[in-house]
Amino acid sequence: MLNIDQIYVSYSVTSRTAGYQRGAVWLDTVSGTAGSVSWVNGTADKPTNLLASALTIAAAIGLREIRVANGSSITFTSTLTNYSFVGE
């Protein structure tokens, strides 16, 4: 027979993300994921697929650098001030 007076239960979240590595929003127009949800899309391990989404995320969390994945293609439709774009 087992008698229990108290039970302590807890949980932990074990998923990890690379986040906005190097203080940048990540953009991959070939293999990125649609969406502009801050802290979900545009991270190094889940880049967004549209420039507009990357800019929305950057503005929402105060970042000024966009890292563009190799093979991506972007078209600037307006003047962007105070943003840095890094890619090869």
- Average pLDDT score over residue span 54-60: 97
pLDDT confidence of 64, banded at 50, 70, 90? very high
Give yes or no for residue 13 having a pLDDT over 90: no
The pLDDT of residue 52 is 95
Judge contact between 82 and 64, C-beta under 8 A: yes
pLDDT band at 20 (very low <50, low <70, confident <90, very high): very high
CB 73 within 8 A of CB 50: no
User: Which of 68, 64, 12 lies closest to 44 in space, CA to CA?
Assistant: 68
Instruction: Return the pLDDT at 2.
Output: 77
CA 63 to chain centre: 11
- pLDDT (average), residues 41-70: 96
- Residue-level pLDDT at 23: 94
| pTM for this entry | 0.79
Task: Give the SS3 label for residue 14.
Answer: coil
